[in-house]
Amino acid sequence: MLFRSADEVRAAFLSFFESRGHAVVPSSSLVPQNDPTLLFTNAGMNQFKDVFTGKEKRPYSRATSSQRCVRAGGKHNDLENVGFTARHHTFFEMLGNFSFGDYFKKDAIAWAWELVTKTLGIAPERLVVTVFGGDTPGEGSVPPDEEAAELWRAQGVRPERIFRLGRRENFWQMGPVGPCGPCTEIHVYRAHLTDPAEIDAHARAFFSGQIPDNDEWMEIWNLVFMQFEQFADGTLKPLPKPSVDTGAGLERLASVVQNVPTNYDTDLLKSLCLHIAGIAKTPYPTGTQDDASIRVIADHARAVAFLVADGVMPSNEGRGYVLRRIARRAIRHGKRLGIERLFFDDVCAQVVRLMGQAYPELIESAAFIREVVKNEEESFRKTLNRGLTLLDEEFAELERTGGKTISGAAAFKLYDTYGFPLDLTQVIATERGFGVDELGFNDEMEKQRTRSSFGGSGEVAVGDLYKRLASELPATQFLGYEKASATAKVLAIVESGHVIERASAPANLEVIVDRTPFYGESGGQLGDRGTLSGASIKAKVLDVQKPAPNLFVHRVELAEGALAKGDEVTLGIDDRRRRALRANHSATHLLHHALRETLGEHVKQAGSVVAPDYLRFDYAHFAPLTDEQMRDIEAKVNALVRENFEAHTDELAIDDAKKRGAIAFFGEKYGARVRMLTLGPSVELCGGTHVQRSGDIGFFKITSESAIAAGVRRIVAVTGPEAVQAVHAEEEALSNAAAALKTAPMDLPKRAEAAQARIRELEKELDALKKAAAAAKSGDLLSQAEDVKGVKVLATRAPGDAAALRELSDKLRDRMPAGVIALGTEVNGKALLLLSVTKELSKKVPANALLQELNKTLGSRGGGKPDFAQAGGGDVAKLDETLARVKALVEERTSRLHGVAGQ
């Protein structure tokens, strides 16, 4: 079969391995689950990491997947190459097949060769393979992988086409300790030679390092053989069950199958590039710099669309910062192409149209993606214009001082704060006749890379102990949907991180049982509390966590008796607390529905907490709720409560649930079968506990709404008795305010408005009095001015804040023919210094130049213009000393000027 589309290549790969007993596993999120060491999912094996190490068991020993990946930030911080080379991407798809202690090298190599040469039809005469050539003999060294070489020869690969490379190229390890092993790669020749002997010679020269990498040879598949475990002392031991992890980039395979020169010429990216060219009203390709800009936008739009769909939001730290850099780099290239209108959300929408069939989550988040991207572009275009203004200011300063080069620090600020790549700054500077300190820029860039290197996501990984227990123990049966109490058998007891057989009171324990009515914290809902009892046991259950699927860890305070593994115990939840949790959890579903109905389909849940006394709901939106919207949302939720809808739960396949309109939440990991809750018009995937009817919620009241991050807002609300208490508290506050203003509560708005109007009148009167006092003060102060070589100098303390001192200095300057005024004061324990110079004198004795000298004495920071400058934050104890220097500085400055004039 001849494959033409990337979709066909992807389907053929997955089908090939499915027919050979592999489970087809959907792509995991770009936000790694339970791996705080990773910024983004960057390989197909990420979601199987714990399976490879034996910490997690799956119902299959063979798997295949097409994994969406992002490599940008951290050690993969080579954004500047994307769009300018044939192969670099921030977003790509990794095809892979995996064996978890099942088949090994023989089958992996045979299937790889069969798929590449027969299924995909890539000519064997254009292929070579590499294998691990071995370490230098010594402690912990690994011998050459001659087994792999022999298996390749068995597939018909000639010895001349098998190259043995070193550890850097053909050895893989998960970290300094853990699984590791040799790998073997398939490379394809992409240039003009056709004679096998000539290709052999070219391959020898290339793989021996005699000729540089110039895209003539391209790796298309890497097969990793995990056959050793490396220990901290450097020793290696064979794994009892060796495994296989392979990865083949879809973009690369598609470029070979479609016989096009670059990944951007495949159907994965070509139509997107043409779409962007249409927006820019420019032809593509042209062989000019415009091609690179179009490719940057195409690549980055794919990364941004998928990251936003997976719940990443633009921000100034972590994953959000990388997303922001990617998006802004694309937008800047759009501006370079002459696109002055908002356009990037249109390009991301095209990504959804092109890739939505393979990744339905894109379609589900289509409106949200557009809203996030549009908001980010609007924000950046304002920033971009400010950056251009800053650059103009740099040019003006260079012209004033006679400088010829923009500093590396200034160029980096433009890059890091305003998104200006160095090449853009250099182009603009050249046009104006200036250079850029590239070495200084690189120094600042290196400092930033050090600061922003990824040191962990801040998330907590599941402890190895719980992973082991989850794999060894049977799944805990959850009875809490129907029961509030149950008998159970103790399966494991943990104390201080160690598994024990028996514990005596008093003790703080973690207890795992075979079945439980206790809900383990998940989906935002807090864990249950209650009691654990037995023949001679009394204990409180303080919390329940789910550190792994189907593992319920009861945190227990043992008060009486002794608890042993195998004991039969009775578990009972705090039913009153559970009722409150159910009401608040169901209320979050109704709130989510009301928000989407009021604000739009782009609204998505971005986090939640369901506690017994309140609920917190984080959602994606870019503006605060108006008072009218707040009232509307409350009214809609309470209307749904009064309708008293019956709650329906169904367990079904996740695809069937989505077809029925169920909403999935960001950050949640769903299995093949899911629990779907329908409560009136709200249909969501949820494993939490809920009311039987919406009327059980009683009453819903929003207590606060605020922003917690760019594009993410938070609502805190209460239900039932807490909601009634919240209303009573508001009524009491209203009543107290009315009493203070001596009016009835219903008349309070009118009375408050009248009071505000009177306050404004009094403020105007006070301001007029202050100005009159300042005018009188200025007259008094003028008499203190001293003559310094024909220049009047006034340097003194004056009361007031910065605004008062500014007004006073303006009045003094207006009444002084040629002079310098320096006013100092103390504000909040810090010194404040203002310098004002009359217009005619400001060219000879600039205020900003004087201030720079005075800052050295005061220890303050600030600046300004020749006629006015201001500094703050200095040492108040040195304020008088600083003011005393003004006269000497003016004298020094005027003497120097007179001396120059005399020459």
User: pLDDT tier at 539 (50, 70, 90 boundaries)?
Assistant: very high
Q: What are phi and psi of 70, to 5 degrees?
A: -130, 130
User: pLDDT tier at 77 (50, 70, 90 boundaries)?
Assistant: low
pLDDT, position 137: 79
> Which token pair is 367?
């409106």
Strands (E), 780-845: 786-788, 791-797, 819-827, 830-837
> Which token pair is 230?
């490396």
More confident of the two residues 347 and 798: 347
Q: Mean pLDDT across the stretch 295-313?
A: 95
More confident of the two residues 548 and 348: 348
Question: Tens digit of pLDDT for each residue in 174-186?
Answer: 777 778 899 999 9
- What does the alpha-carbon distance between residue 14 and residue 402 come to, in Å, rounded to a whole number? 65
Pairing status of strand 236-249 against strand 647-653:
unpaired
pLDDT, position 774: 65
Q: Is the peptide bond before 866 cis (omega within 30 degrees of 0)?
A: no
Question: Tens digit of pLDDT for each residue in 564-605?
Answer: 999 999 999 999 999 999 999 999 999 999 999 999 888 888
pLDDT, position 846: 92
Choose the most confident range, by mean pLDDT, from 20-34, 302-316, 685-699: 685-699
Nearest alpha-carbon partner for 591 in 555, 625, 557 = 625
pLDDT, position 387: 82
> Which token pair is 213?
């990498």
pLDDT, position 139: 63
Question: Tens digit of pLDDT for each residue in 785-840?
Answer: 898 888 999 999 988 888 888 888 888 888 888 899 999 999 888 899 999 999 88
Nearest alpha-carbon partner for 335 in 271, 284, 375, 279 = 279
Q: What percent of the chain has pLDDT over 90?
A: 61
> Which token pair is 188?
């394809």
What CA–CA distances, in Å, run from 237 to 144, 415, 792?
A: 16, 48, 87
Nearest alpha-carbon partner for 128 in 114, 150, 106, 113 = 113
pLDDT, position 461: 47
**Cβ atoms within 10 Å, residue 657:** 22
Which residues touch 786 (CB under 8 Å, ≥6 apart)? 792, 793, 794, 887
pLDDT, position 458: 44
pLDDT, position 211: 84
DSSP 2-28: ---SHHHHHHHHHHHHHTTT-EEPPPP
- What does the alpha-carbon distance between residue 360 and residue 655 come to, in Å, rounded to a whole number? 10
In the chain the first and final C-alpha atoms are separated, in Å, by 92
Choose the most confident range, by mean pLDDT, from 66-80, 456-470, 482-496: 482-496
Burial class (CB in 10 A: 0-12, 13-18, 19+), 59: exposed
pLDDT over 60 (residue 263): yes
pLDDT, position 687: 92
Nearest alpha-carbon partner for 617 in 760, 715, 725 = 715
Question: Tens digit of pLDDT for each residue in 491-504?
Answer: 999 999 899 999 99
Q: Mean pLDDT across the stretch 447-467?
A: 59
- At 685 the three-state DSSP class reads strand
Nearest alpha-carbon partner for 65 in 108, 45, 95 = 95
**What is the pLDDT of the chain when averaged over all its residues?**
89
Angle between helices 627-643 and 575-599 (to 10 degrees): 130
**Cβ atoms within 10 Å, residue 86:** 16
- What does the alpha-carbon distance between residue 508 and residue 74 come to, in Å, rounded to a whole number? 40
Q: Mean pLDDT across the stretch 714-743?
A: 94
pLDDT, position 472: 86
Q: What percent of the chain has pLDDT over 70?
A: 93
pLDDT, position 799: 84
Give the global pTM: 0.73
Q: Mean pLDDT across the stretch 516-540?
A: 95
Nearest alpha-carbon partner for 835 in 768, 889, 773, 894 = 889
> Helices H, strands E: what count in the chain?
26, 35
What CA–CA distances, in Å, run from 365 to 356, 368, 659, 665, 666?
A: 10, 5, 15, 11, 10
What CA–CA distances, in Å, run from 281 to 83, 284, 291, 327, 339?
A: 19, 10, 13, 21, 9
Q: Mean pLDDT across the stretch 338-365?
A: 94
Pairing status of strand 530-533 against strand 830-837:
unpaired
- What does the alpha-carbon distance between residue 377 and residue 221 come to, in Å, rounded to a whole number? 37
